A and B are shown apart, each in its own frame.
Chain A
Amino acid sequence: MISWFLRFFVLVPLSVLLLNGCGGGGGSGSSTTSTGSVPTADCNAAATPPTLASNQALMSVSQNPSISSYSTVNLPYVTVTVCNGTNCKSIDHVVVDSGSYGLRLLHSVASPLGFSTAPTFYECAQFLSGYMWGGVYNATVQIAGEATSSPIPIEIIDDDNTPSMTPPPFSCTSGNSSIGTLNGIGGNGLLGVGPFIADNGNYYQCTGSTCITAVVPTASQVSNPVAFFAINNNGLIMQMPAVSGLACPTAAGSITFGIDTQTNNSLQNYSTLALDSSGNFTAAYSGQIFNSSFIDSGSNYNFLIIPGMNYDSNGNYRPTQYTTISPVTFTPNTGPAASITTSLGVIDPYVLNSTYTAVNDIAALGSAGSADFGMPFFYGKSIATVIAGHHVAEGNGPMYALH
């Protein structure tokens, strides 16, 4: 399969370089879309795992072998070890999500560690596609050579209807579907490692089958485990290899924990981008401005509005030719004015090999005011977060830095 498309598209990379260089030529900040050949990358190189230090974890995109009903496209997986007291379990295929906060694990996977008695607090973790209902429990979280210095609140998602757990109240389900399942997540859990600590979530206290909204102190909320590591606790760097514009079967990258704490996590040569209190910045392209934009490894598409481009009833953008949008500028809503200029590619997903899981350049319909730069944006880049409240030489959290 790899050789098939390399043979087919090996002639095109020069034109891609030209494309990337010409988008900004319109003057006075005008942005253009241009069509042309598909960028290529070496899928064998993309699939090769990097050499890791103790503060680095493998972050890989590949088909989840436990899921047969769909391709686990652009779901970056990491292995997490969770301990309840001295009882520990290594849990693979946890999805890395820089757009949420805290570790959420399926009860069906985590149950050997306990977590089966009725909790003090329940949480309805909300996402645009559905909710994850479960209990809040304390656990030690270890990723690669890093571990939380004490147990922290995590959510154990009640995917197997544990008798001791109360089912979700109507105010949680509220017309939505549960995505707190293996198929809903695409993995055994979700690791929220965005640029804040607590999730500010939707909590409940339940008695019998009756649940009421609970205001939970920040320290008791499900929280980003990275912030509780001993030393490398101020942020992280996600690095993914470049993949072909026609996708690659798999891609292997890394998460490096800590910023400016070791030789492998400096932000020298990165471009920084301050974030507002919502974790957002302003993205501008094609004459449009989106002031609540964000970067999110947990979005498997880029979700954004692309003026003039066709999309289907499921929201997939389907350009007739490979299209580059350039420049795309990121400017902060608050803090230092430093901005970032980048570009986006868009390809019709229906021309891709449907078994390939590492797919850049796919986009789906977004919303007014908000552009979501998802996992497709991560390939070929190093993307760092600095957690709110932390200060590094290059700036103050919350911020992103890109290289």
Chain B
Amino acid sequence: MQSPFPGKILLAGATFALCCATPLYAALGGPASAILNSGQVVTAPGHQLAQLPQGVQAQTVVTSQNVTITEFSRGGTVFAIRWDGPIIPDQSQLLGSYFPEYAAGMQARNPKGRNAPVQIRSQSLVAHVQGHMRAFSGSAYAPALVPAGLSVSTLGVEP
């Protein structure tokens, strides 16, 4: 798929290269084990949820601001994330090296109003943010990292 924002990704990548603090939890495309650095681990890392396809692991943390983040990994690499909570969590921490693409998409969009849902769909990232004050939710995945044959919607991640 052709990225709708080919020119802006490079620009944003340069702009944001210095920004990102050490993630408090595993970032998209990063090692699942990084979640151990985070706040409260609700589901133990490495726990295999029964309904998940073979080889996919889910782990959940709750941040100090009551955002619940579930990360899906395979072979130790996070390929999809979903979250919900009263605020929008820091997307640079959630998306890691994919954040510049997210930021470029955000800058390129022309929202129809204050509450227009976010849908970023670029070559290597699909991200959604929706909801309203006190009740936001979102998801993101890296299509190239999703296990073959797996539909992310079965994980509660918006395709």
- Chain A residues close to B by CB (< 8 Å): 74, 97, 99-101, 125-130, 170-171, 174-177, 179, 185, 192, 194, 196, 199-202, 213, 215, 278-280, 292, 294, 296, 298-301, 303, 314-316, 364-370, 372, 374
Contacts and interface: CB of A to CB of B under 8 A. Distances in A.
A129 B114 contact: yes
A127 B92 contact: no
10 contacts: A101-B134, A127-B133, A128-B116, A170-B19, A177-B106, A194-B134, A201-B133, A202-B87, A301-B112, A366-B117
B99 interface: yes
B91 interface: yes
Interface in B108-142: 110-119, 128-137
Contacts of A99: 115, 132-133
A296 B128 contact: no
A200 B113 CA distance: 22
Interface of B: 16, 19-21, 64-66, 86-88, 90-93, 99, 102-103, 106-107, 110-119, 128-137, 158
A278 B134 contact: yes
B113 A126 contact: no
Contacts of B86: 200-201
Contact of B110 (A194, A213, A314, A366): A314
A309 to B, nearest CB: 15
A314 B103 CA distance: 17
B92 A174 contact: yes
Given A175-B99, A175-B103, A202-B65, A129 B113 contact: yes
Contact of A279 (B64, B103, B112, B135): B135
B131 A370 contact: yes
B110 to A, nearest CB: 5
Contact of B115 (A280, A292, A372): A372
A128 B117 contact: yes
Nearest to B92: A174
A185 B66 CA distance: 27
A370 B117 contact: yes
B136 A374 contact: no
A170 B92 contact: yes
Contacts of B110: 314
A110 B19 CA distance: 32
B113 A300 contact: yes
A129 B111 contact: yes
A100 B113 contact: no
B27 to A, nearest CB: 13
Contact of A364 (B90, B103, B116): B116
In order of increasing CB-CB distance, the 4 nearest A-B pairs are A175-B103, A278-B135, A200-B86, A367-B117
Nearest to A304: B117
B65 to A, nearest CB: 7
Contacts of B103: 174-175
Nearest to A314: B110
Contact of A367 (B66, B130, B133, B134): B130
Nearest to B105: A175
Contacts of B129: 128
A298 B115 CA distance: 8
Nearest to A300: B113
Residue of B64, B114, B130 with most chain A CB atoms under a 10 A cut-off = B114
Contacts of B115: 99, 127-129, 296, 298-299, 303, 372, 374
A301 B110 CA distance: 14
A129 B114 CA distance: 5
B92 A175 contact: yes
Given A126-B87, A129-B113, A315-B116, A370 B130 contact: yes
Contacts of B65: 202, 213, 215
